Every structure is written in C-alpha cells, then in structure tokens.
Amino acid sequence: RQTGDTTPTKSYVASCGLTETIEKTGKKSQWKEKFGKLPPFHGIGIGCNSVQTGFPMGIRGGSQAFIKLNEDGGVTIITGIVDNGQGNDHMIVQIVAEELGLTPDDVQLISADTEVTPSDPGSYSMCETFIGGNAVRLAAQDVKKKLFRIAATEFGVGEEDLSAKNHKIFVTKDPQQSMSIAKVVRMALTRNESISGEGSYWPQVDWKREWVKNPYGQLSETFSFGTVICEVKVDPETGQVEVLEVTASQDVGYALNPKVIEGQFEGGVAMGGQGGMLTEYLQWYEGRVLTPTQLGYLVPLAIDMPKINDIIVETIDPKGPYGAKEAGMSVAMSAAQAYCGAISNAVGVYFHEYPITPDKILKAIEEKKKKNRKG
C-alpha cells in the first residue's frame, strides 16, 4: 500500500507510510538476522495493519468547536470531543495555543458536556484528532482572523502581513511593531465587540456507503498504518511465555505530541498484545458474561510489560490538522498479530483461540510431538 493508492473497495489513500514502518521496525528488531535463526522455543512475529479515521455515520459525522477570547488574552474552547485517556484534551489545547500564539496555560477547555458543547462524532473510530482537531483549528483560525482585522487597522498593514506568537500580534516583517493579544481584545470590547470563532469540519466521505449492501466508496478521509514485531521465549515445560522485546511503529501523519503518541503505542501493545493475546480471557454464554471477576480476566500491569521500542513515522496527511491523523490503534491491532505470530513461530503450531495460555501451549506442544512420532 502506497500514498495515492485506491483500495479494492474504492477508498483513496491520501497518505501512507506503511513501507517505512515495516522497514524501520524490521531494522530495529533485527528481523532479517533473527527470523528462522533463533534457538528452539524462541520466536519472532510481525503484524501490520491499517485503520480508518472515522467512517460515514450520518448526522454525527462532523465536529464543531467554539472559541471565545477573554479580556486577559486567554481563550475558552468549547468542544464535544471526549478524552478517554488518549490525550484528546491536550491535543485540543495544543492546537488552540499553537494557532493563536499562546501557551497551553492560557487555554480553558470545556468539553463533553452535552448541555453546552456542540456536536462531535465521539471518541471512537479513531477520528478525534483528524475530525475534531480540524474543527478546533478552524475555530482558532476564525478567532485569529478577527484579531488580525483589528490589529491591522492599528498598524496600517494588511491582515496577511500579521503573525501571532508569544501572546502578541506583530507585523511579520517588522516584529517591533506589536501589541499584546489582551490589548487587542480590550480594544474590541471598547467598540462593544467580542472576539469569538467557530469551526466546523465535515469529512469528505461517501455517505451512501453501507457496510453490506453498498461496501464501495470513500470509507474514511484518511487511514493510518502500523507495524509491530514481537520476540518471545516459550518454556516448553510450563508453557509460560516471556516477551523479550517489542518494536512498534506507526504512520501518524504528523506527531502533534511525540510523548503522548509513544504512550499510545505502549498502551496499544499492552491491550492488543500483552493482554489480548496472553491473559485477558472473557467467557460468555448466550450473551451473558460468565467471567465473575478480574481474577479470571487478567489485565497486564506495568510490571508485566516488556521492553518496547517506539518508532514514529510521519507522512504529513494533506487534510489532517498540521498533517496529523490517528495514532495508537494501528499498533494495538498489529500487536495482536505480532504476539500470536511470535508464539506460533516459537512452538511451531498455529493458535486459533485466544488468549494463548500456558495450558493451550502445552497441549499444542504435546499434540505436535504425537504427530511427529506418527509421521
């Protein structure tokens, strides 16, 4: 898959760093040196994935944001974007601060309150940075345009000749000509004007597309791509799996906050690989969950996590805010494949039921021995 491709279901791929994630992950993990050359019961596996950013979801497909400039030069941003731990709140604040030349401390956030916040797709389908972030940026640009209109009159220049940085509006070619954003706001208030802005983003997708009856057309405005390589050691006596090292990479478009993205990568490895493939076992029958407590549904802790190498790949998506798109889910999905592949590579048996617990591994080893004796 490459930038400019069209998928079999007629979705255009606007940006794609899949090849780079494979190459960089393979080099860091020494895939070529290790695959097929590891000691017995040592294995290495790879997983690759692509994930859409949003999809045709009717009236909730787009996002809106409102921004109000305060008298002290700070701003209040109102958005329906939800943060479930992904870092969405920081993403919102960072975009507003960057666009208006402020710091995150200058931004007050009101989010996820349906009484006052505008519409948003919600925190799923990996769409908040791309769809919600674009709406936030457009709202900030609307505010900046109004700031520049007032300041341009004072400086006697065109709005296009101004910039915003370090809490100031200034003439780009003559930074000495400047005034604080707070002063511009107060000037507006003396004219009985308030400075506020609105941003709305509606993705360009095929709204007639339907999963079964009409599965063709633009599913998502952009897609992310990720690769994970996992190396494991299996104890043939106990069936225990020791994860030696994991290398995770994803094309994120543009890394708005590299540290947050690395946290998303590591969370993806924890959920998709360490938990999903090794410990998290959910039993159910006829729609009812039978697993009574988390004693039988083991969520990996920090002490359970292996060494993880994070590799961020940037492709600068043409429509993402500053070129950004989804970060984290491609790693989570690829981690499941990589863990499963590594264990299968170590044991020599493919597994089709998850999690891959020690008893399943011991059973597979024993069945393989019996088959070899017969064969």
On the CB side of 181, CA atoms within 13 Å amount to 27
Locate 30 and state its tokens. 């020494």
Distance from C-alpha of 114 to C-alpha of 119, rounded to nearest angstrom: 8
Q: At what angle do helices 358-374 and 329-347 cross, to 10 degrees?
A: 40
- Which residues of the chain form CATH 3.30.365.10? 18-55+216-374, 58-201
Report pLDDT for 375: 64
User: How far is the C-alpha of 310 from the C-alpha of 342, rounded, in Å?
Assistant: 18
Predicted pLDDT of residue 175: 95
Name the band, by pLDDT with cuts 50, 70 and 90, for residue 209. Answer: confident
Instruction: Report the alpha-carbon distance of residue 365 to residue 41 in Å, rounded.
Output: 10
Hey, which residues does 65 pair with through a beta bridge?
A: 79, 199
Three-state SS for 127?
coil
User: 43 vs 86, which has greater pLDDT?
Assistant: 43
Transcribe 230-250 into DSSP letters: EEEEE-TTT--EEEEEEEEEE
CATH annotation of 18-55+216-374: 3.30.365.10
Helix (H) or strand (E) holding 309: strand 307-313
- Select from 1.20.1510.10, 3.30.70.1230, 3.40.1520.20, 3.30.365.10 the CATH code of 58-201: 3.30.365.10
**Residue 257, pLDDT score:** 95
Integer-rounded Cα radius of gyration of the chain: 25
Is the pLDDT at 123 greater than 80? The verdict is no
What is the pTM assigned to this prediction? 0.92
Residues 209 and 217: their CA atoms lie apart, in Å, by 6
The rounded distance, in Å, linking the Cα atoms of 271 and 293 is 18
DSSP-based helix, strand, coil % in the chain, nearest 5: 35, 25, 40
The mean pLDDT value for 192-209 works out to: 92
Mean pLDDT (whole number) for 318-343: 96
> Do residues 223 and 253 lie in contact, with contact meaning Cβ atoms separated by under 8 Å?
no
Q: How many residues does the chain have?
A: 375
Say which range, 22-36, 203-217, 262-276, has the weakest mean pLDDT.
203-217
Task: Express each pLDDT in 226-236 by its tens digit.
Answer: 999 999 999 99
Poorest-confidence range of 52-56, 100-104, 224-228, 306-310?
52-56
Beta bridge partners of 169: 164, 179
Q: Please state, as a whole number, how many other Cβ atoms lie within 10 Å of the Cβ of residue 186.
A: 13
Our CA angle for 51, 308, 49, nearest 5°, is 15
Residue whose entry in the numeric block shows the structure tokens 């004219």: 191
From residue 170, how far is each of 65, 69, 95, 194, 242 by CA, in Å?
A: 26, 18, 20, 20, 58
Q: How far is Cα 211 from Cα 188, in angstroms, rounded to an integer?
A: 50
Q: For the chain, what is the largest distance between any 2 Cα atoms, rounded to a whole number of angstroms? A: 92
